[in-house]
Structure 1
Amino acid sequence: METLLEKTEQLSELNLAYLLLKAGYQGSLAPASRTTTATGIPTPSPSRTTVGGIPASPVVAPPSRPPVQPVPTPPPAPKLSPAETRFIQALDMIERKQYRDAVQYLNFAISAEPNVARYYLHRGIAHLKQGNTGMAKADFLQVSRLEPANAELMAEVRRWLQQVTTQQPVPSPSRQTSQAQKVVPPPRKEDNGGFLSRFFG
């Protein structure tokens, strides 16, 4: 852009010389005197642009183009923390009913950021889907401790707590067996006759 006017003058002189030679002009092609227009772009003098008394077509310099504005680049996307990345992956696993894997990813997110209520809410949902009502209830109560003023989260907690109360945990067979093994028969009653009665029959 700094040398645009100089290059434009050179192009104008070359165009003029080309037109003169094309029209058969045999004289000396000395540099033509220039006059400056109101726009500041030099143009050839009319006395130098005649061939055999016939005025040649004036050479018009090409208009200067405005500088091209660079396209603004969009701001970079915010970088997610490792905990938020695991949380998003856990949401995808919950949608695909991979609840055990979702709990593992949410455990990582909670260990990295233990004060985010959303992590506990969705871990409680994953626990509830697996039948772990006690762990699910503990997570839902933790949400109410962290953000009791969040109306949206509290509505979600109440909705899932209703499912916790209606869903009873099913005891596993191993637990039933261990309880059955703990049953001990009552002790036999001893005779009240004392030592002699037991000795003599």
Structure 2
Amino acid sequence: MPLGHRIEDLKLPSLAVGTTRPEDRLATVTALFIHTERYTIEAIDWYLTKRRRPAQWSRLLRSIAVSAAVVGGIIPLVHGASPDLIAPDWGFVLLAIGAGCVLFDRVFGHSTSWSRFSRTGIALQHALARAQSEWVSAVVTLDPVQPGKEELRELLAVVERLHSKVHEIMQEETTGWIGYLAEGLEELNSTTVSRSSGSVMPGQTTRDP
């Protein structure tokens, strides 16, 4: 997926509820399960698709950081063996580029987003698989002609557990994203302030108070 490709937001689909007549209750409960199941599948696809862009950025930034660190560490050795080949200051430049890539990744959370989206998608898959198993186990034991109230309650309980679990997983991911965003902004501000306070303007001299 291209780095600039936009992914549509995840939206809850509309629900068309059937009638409440006793003979249609099983169909209504089934429609509710299918609706919740469909939304869960869409959420899984959304998270697994959403992780691709952070994964691309994470690999790119980490590759640049590692390459810059390795080459930057070799440059002083090359300069020692052949002083006229390259200036040793280029090693510091490459090390600074590598550190900048790591900082960029930490502030914008590409690696963390990649991990968080993958973890959320897998958790949703586990919740869906468990709900589907519970639904099949409940359906095969009920009377298809006229299911009892307890049987219908058991089916509704499966739907409610799936809905609650999906909401819990997605809420946890959203809370983690908000927390990491605040931490990233704080780290960026602290880094900017520390570098600004430690820099000296041309023509200025530092002195003890």
Could you tell me the TM-score, scaled by structure 1's length?
0.20
Query: Going by fraction, where is helix more abundant, 1 or 2?
Result: 2
Higher relative contact order (CA 8 A, sep 6+): 2
Which of the pair has more CA radius of gyration? 1
Query: Going by fraction, where is strand more abundant, 1 or 2?
Result: 1
Could you tell me the TM-score, scaled by structure 2's length?
0.20
